[in-house]
Structure 1
Amino acid sequence: MRYLRDKEFRMSVLISACVAAITATAGFFLIRQQAAMAGFLLAVLGCVLVIALWLAFTLCRYRRLEKLAADTDRMLHGERDLNFTQYREGELEILANELSKLLNRLSEQADHLQAEKVYLSDSLADISHQLRTPLTSLNLVLARLGQETDLQERRKLLYEAGQLQGRISWLVEALLKISRIDAGTAVFVQEQVEVQKLMDSVLEPFAIPMELREQQVKLDIPAETAFTGDFSWSCEAVSNIVKNCMEHAGEGGVLTLRAQENSLYTELVIEDNGPGIAPEDLPHLFERFYKGKCSFGSGIGIGLALSRMIIKQQNGSIRGENRAEGGARFTIRFYKGIV
């Protein structure tokens, strides 16, 4: 019965039935009137007419199939401006509708792949630029080091070379981590993470730099505050945010780290009393390779982007804003259910 959805099939059956009925009726009356030869000829004529109608409908259908095949070939060769709505007959319409869906899907995938190619090209350009700058500086420092004879000056150059080498190493590691997350190969362990232990691990590498800058850290973390996530990756994410706040707080600055837990999420708040975030930078704060108006030092614009990626992978969210009393505030939430 599904073939009755085909308008052409229904019309063919109806016309054939009408011709057969008319022929049979006329033949019956002719036979009753002893006109056997005329009835025979009428039957033959009816059969010929039915065959002719079937051939006409079949020819029309094959022409439409040929056109549909030609449109499909044009689609496979990249043409997108195709109209499949002209096929409005039963099974042919269903086939055309599926091809239309296929065309839309292929167009979307082609656009997505093109966008990915452009993004990859831009990312490679950004990466090469970010690596070229410290590498060039390192080459210049090493060249000066080879010519310098003063011991004190050589020590200064060695320290500067070490700083540049550390910056390059951190950049490469951060880019590798971002690539692993993008590719879906990064493994995030689901375990109970105690916020107090996490903050201790985060602050440990910054103890000496903060002491040299005479910066203070204020902690307000209730005991047993925790969330479900990966300790190492979370440490990486929070460290990047603390580093950003430390650099912006300046000499004698104050960093405040607070945490709270409720039935929905565990919240970590990191604040500084620096100049804050420029309003035009707020929408782009977590974009990769974006350097804000108030960026300091050797920032290259991937630390916050990496932090956001790590937090999102752990069913979390992050928001950056300015404090009313001055400075920046980063709010991280690790949700206990589906976001």
Structure 2
Amino acid sequence: MTPQDPQAFERLLANCADEPIRFPGAIQPHGLLVTLTEPGLQIQQVSANVLTLFGVSAESLLGLPLAALSGSEAANAVQQAAVYTTLADAPPLALNLLGREYEGLLHRDQGILVLELELKPDDSEIHSTMGKVRNLSRMLQRLQGAKTLTALYEICVREIQALTGYDRVLIYRFQDEGHGQVIAEASSPAMELFNGMFFPASDIPEQARELYRTHWLRIIPNADYQPVPLIPTLRPDTGEALDLSGAVLRSVSPIHCQYMKNMGVLSSMSISLMDGERLWGLISCGHRQTLHVPHELRMACQTIGQVLSLQISALQTLEISRQREAKMDALVRLNAAMVQSTAAVFEGLAQMPEALMDLTGASGVAILEDKVLHRYGQCPSPEDTRALYQWFKDSGQPVFSSHNLSTLHAPAAQYKDIASGLLAMTLPKPVDNAVLWFRREVKESIQWSGDPNKPLNLEAGSNGLRLSPRTSFEIWKVEMDGISSKWSHGDLFAANDLRRSALENDLSRQVLREQQAVRARDELVAVVSHDLRNPMTIISMLCGMMQKAFSSDGPHTSRRITSAIDTMQQASSRMNVLLDDLLDTSKIEAGRYTISPQPLEVSQIFEEALSLLAPLALDKAVELTFHAEPDLKISADPERLFQVLSNLIGNAIKFTPAQGKIGVAAMSNGDDIVFSVRDSGKGIAPEQLPHIFDRYWTAKEGNALGTGLGLYISQGIIKAHGGQLLAESTPGEGSEFRFTVPRMV
């Protein structure tokens, strides 16, 4: 087996990914860890360095109360702190053990109380620490006053470096592809600079990222430490390893310690940066010598990280709003072009190719409508464009985007110079249709800290080959191939919004065509009815006259003529009845929709609605929830009912501000099931509320692209089901739409 053996390397990589970093069975030596039962506080496990720190063996303490180690005063302090349900709310523990001052940290894990003890700094250090902590308010004000993300990052790294004294403080942001980039740095003159550098995803394995996501802070005062084992190794109560995810003293992977030393640092601290529940990045601190940051300073740094996370989310949300706002004028003009077009909706877009390309910053755009293909700017050949459309259509995504198309669609490598990026959308129609935006390849050189294709090394050990972290962090330039500039949130919003407008316009055209067809049919029926009634009336009158001229009591010939006249009279009457039925049928069928009811489960309908509409709500930071009584079953047309739900929830998302709430519910009421869609939006003005179901009604504010057909059509669908669609609204508080559907018998 050689270091070049790929199979050996892959096996070791898999072992590295499975390394039990949450269950190391050991701690770092700058403190003591004890696990305690509750409420008696008997010692279950204790770190082996209790012998060095307190002169008593770990084995002799097992099963004894905490007071046997700490004394009754300290044990009582722990007992009082343990009454807090959330231990983070408990006051800091200052414990005097054998004449030395310790800081006590508590957390719970799977039914066990974990106590960690760290020596308190001396008086001079405490005085310095408290002085720095008192300045925390000023630091937070500076963070909150930052107007741009760049300024925010720079303030953060400088303040944390001044607070802690680390040689290097940097902000590391995770990219969508998994790797990370240093986007801000504050370093002492002797430190190698990493600002702007990219680091491979394997530098921070997935399980380590999950720990960062669930815990704000990790500290390593000395990467040369020897792990201190827990006694006993496994929990006596469960027979399993103790989960040390929440422990400040948790021992870390030896591969990571070697990685630190390869980077030239001996101590480190990491603070997580979150965007909601997503790990956005890290504040990474490093020092060439050993450095133990006291608990109070760590908490101050954690607070800075939490404030920075909130600021990042807020500024990113503001930037997304700005991007969307910048697209609105172009979207209104393109929607007007679709409305004014006498042909298909996409034909209207084909009249404004420059505006269509400018909408997303594309270098080319293709518009496909059945057999007609329009191409503007730099586009693949017609054959390649149609093949690309078919591939993207088969994916089932109504809107698709990629800035590295050839990695997903191999044939795209042949035209990557003009179409490395693709943003596309299609409508649910029986004919081929799509708008495809293209972006040309961007030639750029990205600087990596070391070879990104060789993040780990193989080295010989006493037990054979083992993984070791890379030793080189020299600048490694990589030419990007087949990459375009990324599609922004604003670009994706524009594509989705244009698609929604196209759907509304296409539906409007369909409604108009059906209305014209109904009117033409009604006119034809009226004309035919009018023109046939007069001859039928004349025939009926003539039959009456002939009946008087021929007697049924006369000779055989007269009787035959009389019988024929009776048959004509009956046929004429039957014809008049058929004309009346034709007119009645015409009136009945003048309704826009016919429905095909079938048994449906409400829970399944809600699951489908959630999968389709949750991304739209998430994109706008709106909370969308569904609740239905158990086992609700209805009799309804699934497509038409889903159309109503989509329209009502879509309107709620459109008119509910960020951080708002939308609740969708279903409950039984006699023979009906009542559906409700309630939002926390701005509501509907009282003078507008009576007209919201009128044809072509639309909100005048915040709905520049609406056609006003959605609620009119939804009401028609519910009426066809035999139900009612009603609305209530309070301006400034929100709106609620309710409709009924028959319960399945």
TM-score by length of 2: 0.25
Partner of residue 172 from structure 1, selected from 471, 481, 506: 506
Residue type of the alignment partner of 1:299: G
CA contact 2:592–2:716 (8 Å) conserved in 1: no
Deviation string 1:189-208 (CA, Å, 9 cap, x unpaired) is: 12222222112222322121
**Structure 1 residue 230, shift from structure 2 partner:** 0.7
CA contact 1:141–1:161 (8 Å) conserved in 2: no
Instruction: For 1:267 and 1:251, locate their aligned partners in 2 and report how far apart those are by CA, in whole Å.
Output: 27
Which structure 2 residues correspond to residues 257-268 of structure 1 after superposition, within 5 A?
A: 257-268=664-675
Residue type of the alignment partner of 1:326: E
When residues 163 and 259 of structure 1 are mapped into structure 2, their CA distance, relative to the original with a 3 A threshold, is closer
Deviation string 1:225-255 (CA, Å, 9 cap, x unpaired) is: 2222111110011110110011111212110
Residue type of the alignment partner of 2:738: T
Structure 1 residue 206 corresponds to structure 2 residue 414:
no
Instruction: For 2:741 and 2:726, locate their aligned partners in 1 and report how far apart those are by CA, in whole Å.
Output: 12
Structure 1 residue 273 corresponds to structure 2 residue 680:
yes
Partner of residue 733 from structure 2, selected from 316, 326, 331: 326
Structure 1 residue 231 corresponds to structure 2 residue 654:
no
Deviation string 1:98-156 (CA, Å, 9 cap, x unpaired) is: xxxxxxxxxxxxxxxxxxxxxxxxxxxxx999712887983565134346998579968
Instruction: For 1:278 and 1:136, locate their aligned partners in 2 and report how far apart those are by CA, in whole Å.
Output: 37
Which residue is 2:340 aligned to? 132
Deviation string 1:30-59 (CA, Å, 9 cap, x unpaired) is: xxxxxxxxxxxxxxxxxxxxxxxxxxxxxx
Which residue is 1:10 aligned to? none
CA contact 1:290–1:302 (8 Å) conserved in 2: yes
**Structure 1 residue 325, shift from structure 2 partner:** 7.8
Structure 1 residue 309 corresponds to structure 2 residue 716:
yes
Structure 1 residue 300 corresponds to structure 2 residue 717:
no
Instruction: For 1:325 and 1:275, locate their aligned partners in 2 and report how far apart those are by CA, in whole Å.
Output: 5
Deviation string 1:156-189 (CA, Å, 9 cap, x unpaired) is: 8986467535522343135536838974574411
CA contact 1:278–1:293 (8 Å) conserved in 2: no
Structure 1 residue 142 corresponds to structure 2 residue 350:
no
When residues 165 and 155 of structure 1 are mapped into structure 2, their CA distance, relative to the original with a 3 A threshold, is same
Query: Equivalent residue of 2:650, what SS?
Result: helix
When residues 221 and 162 of structure 1 are mapped into structure 2, their CA distance, relative to the original with a 3 A threshold, is closer
Residue type of the alignment partner of 2:354: A
Which residue is 2:657 aligned to? 250
When residues 195 and 325 of structure 1 are mapped into structure 2, their CA distance, relative to the original with a 3 A threshold, is farther
Q: Which has the larger displacement, 142-151 or 296-305?
A: 142-151
**Structure 1 residue 298, shift from structure 2 partner:** 2.2
Instruction: For 2:352 and 2:337, locate their aligned partners in 1 and report how far apart those are by CA, in whole Å.
Output: 19
Deviation string 1:282-315 (CA, Å, 9 cap, x unpaired) is: 0111112111244435222111111111111001
Which residue is 2:691 aligned to? 284
Which structure 2 residues correspond to residues 59-70 of structure 1 after superposition, within 5 A?
A: none
TM-score by length of 1: 0.52
Instruction: For 2:353 and 2:491, locate their aligned partners in 1 and report how far apart those are by CA, in whole Å.
Output: 8
CA contact 1:276–1:322 (8 Å) conserved in 2: yes
Instruction: For 2:670 and 2:651, locate their aligned partners in 1 and report how far apart those are by CA, in whole Å.
Output: 30
CA contact 1:271–1:329 (8 Å) conserved in 2: yes
Query: Equivalent residue of 2:670, what SS?
Result: coil
When residues 168 and 154 of structure 1 are mapped into structure 2, their CA distance, relative to the original with a 3 A threshold, is farther
Which of the pair is proportionally richer in helix? 1
CA contact 1:278–1:294 (8 Å) conserved in 2: no
| Higher relative contact order, chain-length normalized (CA < 8 Å, sep 6+) | 1
When residues 189 and 137 of structure 1 are mapped into structure 2, their CA distance, relative to the original with a 3 A threshold, is closer
Q: For this pair of structures, how many residues does the alignment match?
A: 211
Query: Equivalent residue of 1:316, what SS?
Result: coil
CA contact 2:616–2:653 (8 Å) conserved in 1: no
Which residue is 2:36 aligned to? none
Q: CA RMSD in A?
A: 3.7
Instruction: For 2:508 and 2:604, locate their aligned partners in 1 and report how far apart those are by CA, in whole Å.
Output: 23
- Segments of 5+ residues of structure 1 without an aligned counterpart are 1-126
Residue type of the alignment partner of 2:353: L
Instruction: For 2:348 and 2:491, locate their aligned partners in 1 and report how far apart those are by CA, in whole Å.
Output: 12
Query: Equivalent residue of 1:277, what SS?
Result: coil
- Segments of 5+ residues of structure 2 without an aligned counterpart are 1-334, 358-375, 379-417, 419-438, 441-483, 519-588
When residues 141 and 195 of structure 1 are mapped into structure 2, their CA distance, relative to the original with a 3 A threshold, is same
Query: Equivalent residue of 2:599, what SS?
Result: strand
Which of the pair is proportionally richer in strand? 2
When residues 162 and 322 of structure 1 are mapped into structure 2, their CA distance, relative to the original with a 3 A threshold, is closer
**Structure 1 residue 216, shift from structure 2 partner:** 0.9
When residues 184 and 308 of structure 1 are mapped into structure 2, their CA distance, relative to the original with a 3 A threshold, is closer
Give the fraction of aligned pairs with identical amino acids, expressed as a percent: 19
Q: Which has the larger displacement, 230-239 or 155-164?
A: 155-164
Query: Equivalent residue of 2:630, what SS?
Result: coil
When residues 165 and 334 of structure 1 are mapped into structure 2, their CA distance, relative to the original with a 3 A threshold, is closer
Which structure 2 residues correspond to residues 9-24 of structure 1 after superposition, within 5 A?
A: none
CA contact 2:609–2:645 (8 Å) conserved in 1: yes
When residues 313 and 192 of structure 1 are mapped into structure 2, their CA distance, relative to the original with a 3 A threshold, is same
When residues 249 and 222 of structure 1 are mapped into structure 2, their CA distance, relative to the original with a 3 A threshold, is same
When residues 325 and 147 of structure 1 are mapped into structure 2, their CA distance, relative to the original with a 3 A threshold, is closer
Residue type of the alignment partner of 1:245: A
Q: Which has the larger displacement, 296-305 or 156-165?
A: 156-165
Residue type of the alignment partner of 1:176: Q
